[in-house]
Chains A and B, each alone.
Chain A
Amino acid sequence: MNPKIECRNISKVFIQKGKQRVHVLEDISLEVMHNEFLVILGPGQSGKTTLLRIIAGLETPTSGQVLVDGKEVTGPGQDRGLVFQSYMLFFWRTVMGNVEIGLKLRGVDKKKRREIAQHYINLVGLQGFEKHYPHQLSGGMKQRVGIARAYANNPEIMLLDEPFGQLDAQTRMFMEKETERIWQTEKKTVIFVTNNIDEAIYLGDRIVTLKDKLPGRMDAIYDVPLPRPREHTDLEFVKLRQEITDRSELVL
């Protein structure tokens, strides 16, 4: 079977202030299968976000290419949904207004888009909060809106950029469970970027690790064959955690 997403030798160099060259990504090649949950695990400053933005079409790679269904990505598109690290909700719109925005941009009529948006608001567990504004919500609830907004646009691929980085540990674990539940309910091809090993093992079908320090390079790929839902205390879970930690310590 052909991969859903294919990254071929992606490198990215940013030019800062006209002359400074910042090498962010170096020779990234990876494949993501249909409906696979791929986690990209890397420490801060390893170019994870840039990689995701390139796949989303918001940045162009300096060299290499991204293929979705065998076609080269030239810009952002409705087939790829993005969940932002800092939520990026429209503070002037209600929860409903935020979730339905993608449908509105495409000119879906009001009744239909309300119906679809309501479905995804319910899916992320925010029923009863449709008329609330983002500033009235907690961090976890805000990111639920972010996820519902991306889902409501019905993309084939979901890209999540450290979506729970700003949450406390408890809420984060709960949101990981929720992410799995939502993904199991409506399967998508997912690329999930994180710097948290537990989160990576809990969620990923496969984990791609990046080396620390710029430019980000591929380090290793781990299969996670554990059955879902996973337990953080499961022996296999802990073993894999140790394996990844040991390896990244060698790098350090």
Chain B
Amino acid sequence: MERSVANEVVKHVKEKKPWTVGRVLTNEYFLYVVSFFTFLIVWHYIAAAGLLGLATPEATLKEMVRLMSVRLAGKNLFGHAWASSRRIIIGFAIGAAAGLPLGLLMGLNKYINSIVKPVFDLFKPMPPIAWISISILWFGIGEPSKIFIIVIGSFVPCVLNAYSGIRIIDPELYDVIRVLGGNRRQEIFYVSFPAALPALFAGVQISMSVAWTCVLAAELVSSRSGLGWIIIRGMKLTKPELVLGGMAAIAVVAWLFSVAASGLEKVLCPWKRGIKEL
């Protein structure tokens, strides 16, 4: 289909080619499957040969299925996954609620930036896990100390990305608002915030992955629940299938979190969706 719009021709084309052996072999989804199964097969043979102290994929999967019904320390696999997720959701929410506005303010106001930046730069390179002892000292070994680590961990990338999201905005975009008769407040609401939104989401994604690192570290140190605790439990009982099962569960849940964040980004940043009609 072809139509002429403003003297510039727009073509609608759907590519259709026959499936040949060569095309199947070079198809990206086919290669994804090949890659995944090769990984499982290599893993299986290493484990079956008794090398590296691994459990086979089948044993790991069986253990995970078993954990869905059998309770460990009062919780099944879903219970433990929720225990970890809950810590992340609370910690991340607090970290982002504090970090994103602070980063935006630092980007928008040079005085706030000058006041906050020196102190922030001091804490920035510090790994969040370094806070574990202090956190336990302040909050004990319960939930608040674990959440505190996650707050610290997700706070930093949120601040950094919100700040740079504002700073990279082309200053001429503000001129557009100015020549149309807008004021400073309108510059912020109609340019700064929407233009920085993709950067905020980048910060959110990074914060999420940092949050997972933090929650595991916290659970490895002191806990009676969570996916990190399952791994420690497997280690203490010398059950490699339990360790690997915990790891696999973390991969799945962390992936779901990142999918959720990408989905939210697609809803809030519709301009980043692919070209649909052209």
Which A residues lie at the B interface, using CB under 8 A?
Answer: 56-58, 75-78, 80-82, 84, 86, 88, 90-93, 101-102, 104-106, 124-126, 128-129, 132-136, 138, 140-141, 144, 149-150, 153, 171, 174, 178
Contact = CB atoms under 8 A, between A and B. Distances in A.
Nearest to B186: A105
B2 interface: no
Nearest to B178: A76
B143 interface: no
23 contacts: A78-B180, A80-B179, A81-B180, A88-B173, A88-B175, A91-B195, A92-B194, A101-B180, A101-B190, A102-B181, A105-B181, A125-B6, A125-B7, A126-B5, A126-B6, A128-B5, A132-B277, A141-B8, A149-B180, A150-B179, A153-B181, A171-B8, A174-B7
Q: Is the interface of B mostly helix, strand, loop or mixed?
A: helix
Contact of B6 (A91, A134, A144): A144
B5 A90 contact: no
A31 to B, nearest CB: 22
Given A56-B179, A102-B181, A136-B278, A84 B172 contact: yes
Interface residues of B, number: 27
A76 B173 contact: no
Contact of A90 (B8, B178, B194, B270): B194
Nearest to A77: B181
A96 to B, nearest CB: 13
A227 B5 CA distance: 28
Given A92-B271, A105-B181, A132 B278 contact: yes
B170 interface: yes
A107 B48 CA distance: 71
Nearest to B269: A92
Contacts of B6: 124-126, 140-141, 144, 178
B5 A129 contact: yes
Contacts, number: 92
Contacts of B269: 92
Contact of A58 (B5, B8, B175, B182): B175
A23 B258 CA distance: 52
B254 interface: no
B132 interface: no
B98 interface: no
Contacts of A56: 179
B197 interface: yes
B172 A86 contact: yes
Interface in B179-235: 179-182, 186, 190-191, 194-195, 197
Contacts of B275: 135-136
Given A91-B271, A92-B197, A136-B275, A82 B8 contact: no
B177 interface: yes
A151 B186 CA distance: 20
Nearest to A89: B176
Contacts of B191: 90
Contacts of B176: 82, 84, 88, 90, 101, 149
Nearest to A127: B5
Nearest to B197: A92
Contacts of A132: 277-278
Contacts of B180: 78, 81, 101-102, 105, 149, 153
A76 B181 contact: yes
Contacts of A128: 5
Contacts of A90: 173, 176, 190-191, 194-195
Interface in B146-195: 170, 172-173, 175-182, 186, 190-191, 194-195
